[in-house]
Structure 1
Amino acid sequence: MSRLDPSAAAPDAIKAMLALETYVKNSGLEHSLIHLVKMRASQINGCAYCLFMHAADARAEGEAPERLDLLNAWHESTLYTPRERAALAWTDSLTLISQTHAPDADYQLAASEFTQEELVKLTLLIGAINVWNRISIGFRSVHPGEKKLRAAA
């Protein structure tokens, strides 16, 4: 059950997050990469709401189901490009920052695939999805698929 509706409780705060979301979406980073990063951070954080939403968005934009299915094991899969692998490593590193402390190896890998400007944009993307995960998990946002299944039961 949802704890509160953050959009109703603090509309200006959510507007600010949506502005950041719009910036990231239009930042020039590939939409497929954006979806993978959002999915990966949401997997790590265990955010059902965001996983449901971003998987649907990725599929709607033509992402291969196999790439979504194997994302949790991206280290072992050959379905991801070197650029995507660098982004996923940076995503893991920053999402788990209290454990990883953003090691030089992950930064070097990301810096080898992204310009400095892109690296800042990628980092903002990772930060934004982590904030969305915390909003959704903290306030127990119920994803549309769960609402649909509850209504049918």
Structure 2
Amino acid sequence: MEDVKIERLKKLDRETLELLVGIYMRGYEGMRQYGGEGEDYARRYLRWCWGKAKDGFFVAKVGDRIAGFIVCDADWYSKYEKGTVGAIHEFVVDSGFQGHGIGRKLMEKCMEYLGKHNDRVELWVGEKNRKAMEFYREYGFRRGGQSGIWVRMVKDLK
């Protein structure tokens, strides 16, 4: 596999949005209950992510192709923490690029970014997404509760 570069997404134009929607939809294959209600939902959600956390919206590129992305928000109000924490709103590696360390590079960039701003990070993951939960545990996240089909995971950075 070619070199993987992690960079901040510079703009969310229509073409890039459609590429990200495709990655998002493929990432939730077999787990649709966690991926929203289809492509229109994905477009709205990814636009919201861009508006909320554009400074922490990172993409992994293999050559010129986007292979995955992570959305890291350094200014998220957590009702569970009763204050501001870092949050990972979305994290997807395109199915054809999984297993090549791209997710690890994205997570490392996110932790570096959030570590400059936050003492704690939270994320939500589908209760049946065991592969993702194990990945997060490897990075020091622990279970912090559950709401419906979603498991809250937290990590202390300092």
**TM-score under structure 2 length normalisation:** 0.28
Whose RCO is larger (CA < 8 A, sep 6+)? 1
Larger radius of gyration: 1
Bigger proportion of residues as helix? 1
Tell me the TM-score normalized by structure 1: 0.29
